[in-house]
A and B are shown apart, each in its own frame.
Chain A
Amino acid sequence: MTSADDRLRDVTTIGAAHAAAAVAKLLDEVAPSEPPCCRKVDVAELAGSVFEPDELVAGVFVEVTGSVRGRMGLVLSRDVLGEVLERLAIPETGEFDARVRSVVGELGNIAVSAAAGALGELEGGVAIPSVPWVGYDMAGALLLEALHPSLYRSAAYVAETELGEGERRLRLRFLWVPEG
């Protein structure tokens, strides 16, 4: 492992912690007490190592420009999405309709904005996230479409963290793919 890898793991961990804290505040939930667990994965192998390729997930992805550049995402399993909707008092219909898409997009926007802000500060500048892209489908398919410009160029750093306590903890998976 190189010092550049160490640095990117640290940056991802800090970004994920800020994202998790922002989501916790939105949901009036207990913020994680442990730092996120971060690992480096080839983009082509994200589906199959971190996720099952045909696992149903909701994902929010942005492109980050400014003092740091890359792609960032927040991924929620179907169960976690259901919990989030329940806590926000959004009736779950089982459909990923415009209302649910909007909720997921806003949640993701809050999370990645917090993370991008932290990453920008770490680099002594400003990181600007794009308007988010949102999807709800098989993990392998969503990740490849969102991250295809980085395929074979960059590695993904994946940080996992959990909000809350007890059986109703919410697992968040945060992705940072620095521009290669």
Chain B
Amino acid sequence: MNPGQIVGVGSLLVGRAPERLRALGVGSCVAVSLWDPDQQLGGLAHVPLPRCGDEGGPLCGFVDSALEQLQSLLVGAGAREGGLEAKAAGGASLLKSAAPRQTAPIGPRNVEALHEILDALGIPLVASDLGGESARSVTFDTASGALEVHCLFDLRRTL
């Protein structure tokens, strides 16, 4: 089986069944799949930062603009705007220090943004594996909508 196309940090890809899309080394980033079950059409975004500000960077680098762009691309490709469902993994906090944190860790901030943006876009989050202290790699199957989540040494779960 084709292992799937890699979706790099700050990028997204759209595919139709039987394509598989993968995001590797997802820690504080969130990997978000949007899927239209009727069309077996979906996309995966691998997003490192919560919100698009004035600092530059690609639209796919921020949860808000990346999800808007992914929804728009899928609708443009034939998906029903009200028929999309989301699954997500990531938002972890991997690094530890003896010093107290000066700011909120980036992983939970990405998760918070994810929930807010999906609510705003009217897309239900039907399954998720978010937070924790371990990195994940994910594989999105555009045929079934499944999001396989792997940790370092084994299959963690299928969403």
Q: Is the CB of A135 within 8 A of B48?
A: no
With A54-B24, A54-B137, A141-B25 as contacts: A152 and B56 at CB distance below 8 Å: yes
Q: Is the CB of A142 within 8 A of B94?
A: yes
Q: Is the CB of A142 within 8 A of B27?
A: yes
B105: chain A residues at CB < 8 Å are 145
Q: Is the CB of B25 within 8 A of A148?
A: no
Please measure, in the bound complex, the distance between the C-alpha atom of A106 and the C-alpha atom of B80, giving whole angstroms: 54
Q: Looking at the complex, which one of A138, A144, A153 makes contact with B137 (CB distance below 8 Å)?
A: A138
Against A, the Cβ 8 Å flags (1 = close, 0 = not) of B33-74 are 000000000000000110000011110010000000000000
Kindly state whether residue A61 has any CB partner on chain B within 8 Å.
yes
Chain A at the B interface: mostly helix, strand, loop or mixed?
mixed
Q: Looking at the complex, which one of A53, A131, A146, A153 makes contact with B24 (CB distance below 8 Å)?
A: A53
Q: Is the CB of A138 within 8 A of B135?
A: yes
Q: Which residue of A lies closest to B24 (CB)?
A: A53
Q: Looking at the complex, which one of B29, B55, B98, B152 makes contact with A144 (CB distance below 8 Å)?
A: B29
Number of interface residues of A (CB under 8 A): 31
Q: Which of A102-152 contact B (CB under 8 A)?
A: 105, 130-135, 137-142, 144-146, 148, 151-152
Kindly state whether residue B2 has any CB partner on chain A within 8 Å.
no
Number of interface residues of B (CB under 8 A): 32
Kindly state whether residue B144 has any CB partner on chain A within 8 Å.
no
Q: Is the CB of A141 within 8 A of B29?
A: yes
Q: Which residue of B lies closest to A147 (CB)?
A: B48
Q: Which residue of A lies closest to B27 (CB)?
A: A141
Q: Is the CB of A151 within 8 A of B98?
A: no
Most A CB atoms within 10 A — which of B26, B28, B48, B135?
A: B135
Q: Looking at the complex, which one of A132, A134, A144 makes contact with B28 (CB distance below 8 Å)?
A: A144
14 additional A-B pairs beyond A134-B95, A151-B10, beta carbons within 8 Å, are A56-B152, A135-B94, A137-B94, A137-B152, A138-B24, A140-B24, A142-B94, A142-B135, A144-B9, A144-B25, A144-B28, A145-B93, A145-B94, A153-B55
- Which A residues lie at the B interface, using CB under 8 A? 44-45, 47-48, 52-54, 56, 59, 61, 101, 105, 130-135, 137-142, 144-146, 148, 151-153
- Which B residues lie at the A interface, using CB under 8 A? 8-10, 24-29, 48-49, 55-58, 61, 92-99, 105-107, 134-137, 152
